[in-house]
Every structure is written in C-alpha cells, then in structure tokens.
Amino acid sequence: MTDGKVLFTCHGCGAAVDATRALPFRCPRAGAPGDDADHLLVPADLEGAYPGGGEAHPFLRYRALLSPYRLARASGLPDAAWFELVGALDEALVRVDGRGFRVTPLTRQPALARATGIAGELWVKDETGNVSGSHKARHLMAVMLYLRVLEAARLPAGEGLRRRRLAIASCGNAALAAAVVARAADWPLEVFIPTDASAAVVRRLAELGAAVTVCERRPAEAGDPCFLRFREAVGAGALPFGVQGPENGLAVEGGRTLAFELVDGLRAAGASPGDLFVQVGGGALASALGAGFAVAARLGALLRAPRLVAVQTEGCAPLARAWERLGATPLAEAARARSRFMWAWETTPHSIAHGILDDETYDWWEIAGAMRATSGAPLVVGEDVLTRAHELARNHTGISVSATGTAGLAGALAARPSGDALVIFSGVERP
C-alpha cells in the first residue's frame, strides 16, 4: 500500500493497477495484438509481522495478509467493518451451504503413510469439509470480499458494480464454489458448462440460482467453447469469477489462506515436512500455496517452504512439458515468451482425476518459480497410481475425498519420499 493505493503489479509485463480505481482482475495489457507475455496481477509484497491471532475464520485470522483487507483499511474502513463484511457473508454461507469458513483439519495419518510407503510422517490437510466441499471457495471468497469492500468504501472501482453479473467457465468444484459464494452474496452468476457436464452438478448449480449456459463446440472454432463464451461475457461487462489467475489474480490470493493455515498448523505441531505434493490442473492451487509459503517465510513464520512437487496425470501434463522446455531459462525471460512454454494440450485427456485435466496450466509461471525456489519439480503419474492412491486414502483415513483430491497423494505414492510429506485432500467425493 502506498499513499492510500493498493497496488497490484503484473508479473509478466510490469503493468500496475491501483485496486481503488480499477478492478485488479485481468492485466490491462493482456491480449494486445502480438502480445506473448504471461500476465498475472500480483498484490504488492507485505512487510510486518506474521499474524498471530487465534480467530477460527481464515479470512479474519489472516486479514492483514490479504489485499481486500488492506484496501478496506487504506480506504478508511475500520477493522470492525471487515469483521462485519466477513461475518455477514459467513452467515449467508451457512444458510446456503450449511457451513461457513473455518480453519480446516490438518492431521498426521500414520496408517496411510505406512500403506503409501512413506518413511516419515504424512500430513493431510482436509479441505473436503470446506465451503462447497473443496478449497475452491477460498479463491472466490477473496474476490467477493474485494467487491464488498469497493461497495462499502464507495471506491471509484466499484462504480456500477451491481449491474454486472459474475461469470465462470467450469463444471466442477470451482463452479459449485462460485455458485455458493455468489448465492450467499446475492449476486447473479452465469456458469458456462460443456455438453457432458455431470447432471448432479448442473442440478445443484440450478438450485443455487446460477444461470447455466451449455456451450456447444462451434465448427471452425479452436479452443474450449466454455472458456470462449466466458471471455465473451466478460467482454460484455461480466465480472470474472473463476479460479484462473490470469483472468483474476485476486482469486489466487484467496488460496494463500490455505498455506497460512498450514504454516500455523505445522508450527503448532512442531512439524516441517520436506515435501508438499499438490495436484495441479489450472494451477491456481499450487500457485497460491507457493506464494503463501513464500510470504510466511519472508515474514519469519517458517524457516523454509517445503519442496513443491506439482502432480499431473499422464493424460494431461502441460506443466511438466513447460518445465522441461524451461530448463535453465531465466524466469523473467519466460514471462515474456509464454507461448514457448505453455499451450493447450493437443489430445482430449481422460483420467479418474478429471478435475485436473485443464488443457493449460494457466498459472504455470508462478508454480515454476515456486518449484525453482524450493528445489521442487513436476511429477507425472499414471492411472494405476491415481487409482491406488484414491483407494488407500479412503481405506486408511475415512475421509470421503475424490480421486482428483487424492492426486497429490498419488505423487507421494510414486515418489516415496524419505522424509515427512504433506498433501491436500480437496473435493469431497460426489455421487
């Protein structure tokens, strides 16, 4: 924050956005003709102490580390106003989804560690009981809180906001999270889904009041039709309410709360696992974890971040491909030449971990940076390992988690780390 401004900077082109005056969602320079930069708006680095509060709500406990909160304070709103905004949304979430945000469980899983062949301890962060059944709502809560602050503080960036609906392209956990948060905030949402979306998800989206648009592939049109329709809606004024960083950098920031909780939980247990295995689809989750751990380390809350291991499926591994091409290329150079490293996976993939089949790892660059900083790497696993990890998780933890949500564990199963390891179980198993 400088002079009442809350600045975001694009990691690819350096464009700066003052979040009091303009929405810090998509980089304003993204998509210019001939542009090949990797664009992501990132909040300014933080100074000060790591928060030590004991609030059970992550958006209260870690508020000092969140740019919507800093925006609120920079705009003259008192601390109490943030508590009111968060509290009102939380009550509405309980009405809509039966639960609000609370710090989620982090447990040692000795039986699962043994069965997986991990020599050290295995730590599992269970996000299956989070709002809407996955970590995805964290991403969108940050975006919604930002919108709420703009309204409450009557900031220029908030002008005409309520006339604009929210939009997302997804048919899985992200869409459900968006629909729950949008409903709690009483904000209209349009969801762009493919023709083969699960009937149960579509039903729940409709129950939550989302306007669902089924997107057919159009002849002679390249790319994901849902994403193309989403882009058109945003072009026509909708607010991007998805979990892809380049479309909305604030969504990634919300996911950092997961890393902050991990830092506190591990500190309390006196643990410091060497490896963090994370399932990667579009990449917002791993990007947020990498950034969150880096913030905590910079503020002195932990000695070093765990090694980030980004797990993808054999059927779809654009991040592993990018990493290979990256080699020793300086990251700053890669940020100016995205298409040399990241492009859509050419074949239509299938996997039991269907939630991580995004044809591009949109947030690849931040993940690559976090892997370099922690001596991490991508890890590609086959269907047999994904299936085995899912079985082991269900048999040895009693957590009802989807195969997408145990794909990080599949990485640990394939790598068999010699020290302690950490995985995120996210995405409740749905019928």
Segment near ligand PLP (CB under 6 A), from 39-47, 190-198, 282-290, 292-300? 282-290
- Cα first-last separation, the chain: 46
CB 239 within 8 A of CB 216: no
Task: Quote the least distance from Cβ 318 to ligand PLP, whole Å.
Answer: 11
- Which positions from 387 through 416 interact with ligand PLP, judged by CB under 6 A? 402, 404-405
Measure the CA–CA gap between 324 and 336, rounded to whole angstroms.
17
**The one among 30, 112, 174, 234 contacting ligand PLP by CB under 6 A:** 174
C-alpha angle 160/188/247, rounded to 5°? 75
Among left, alpha and beta (phi > 0; psi -120 to 50; other), residue 128 is: alpha
Measure the CA–CA gap between 380 and 411, rounded to whole angstroms.
8
Measure the CA–CA gap between 286 and 252, rounded to whole angstroms.
9
Residue 292 CA from chain centroid, whole number = 11
- In 229-306, beta strands by DSSP E: 239-240, 275-279
DSSP labels, 120-182: S-EEEEE-TTSGGGSTHHHHHHHHHHHHHHHHHTT-GGGTTGGGS-EEEE-SSHHHHHHHHHH
Report how many helices (DSSP H) and strands (DSSP E) the chain contains, helices first.
15, 13
**The one among 24, 68, 273, 283 contacting ligand PLP by CB under 6 A:** 283
Residue 284 engages ligand PLP in binding (rule: CB under 6 A) = yes
Q: Which of 133, 158 has the CB closer to ligand PLP?
A: 133
Q: Which of 6, 42 has the CB closer to ligand PLP?
A: 42
Task: Quote the least distance from Cβ 384 to ligand PLP, whole Å.
Answer: 20
Give me the residue label for tokens 């882009």.
231
User: What string marks each residue from 38 to 77 as x (binds ligand PLP by CB under 6 A) or -?
Assistant: ----------------------------------------
Residue 78 CA from chain centroid, whole number = 28
Residue 374 engages ligand PLP in binding (rule: CB under 6 A) = no
Give me the residue label for tokens 């195969």.
403
Residue 427 engages ligand PLP in binding (rule: CB under 6 A) = yes
What are φ and ψ of residue 43, in 5° steps?
-65, 155
Residue 281 engages ligand PLP in binding (rule: CB under 6 A) = yes
Residue 172 engages ligand PLP in binding (rule: CB under 6 A) = yes
Task: Quote the least distance from Cβ 75 to ligand PLP, whole Å.
Answer: 30
**Number of residues forming the site for ligand PLP (CB under 6 A):** 21
Task: Quote the least distance from Cβ 30 to ligand PLP, whole Å.
Answer: 19
Task: Quote the least distance from Cβ 175 to ligand PLP, whole Å.
Answer: 9
Residue 282 engages ligand PLP in binding (rule: CB under 6 A) = yes
Q: Which of 86, 140 has the CB closer to ligand PLP?
A: 140
The residues that touch ligand PLP, with contacts defined as CB under 6 A, are 134, 172-174, 243, 279-286, 355-356, 358, 402, 404-405, 426-427
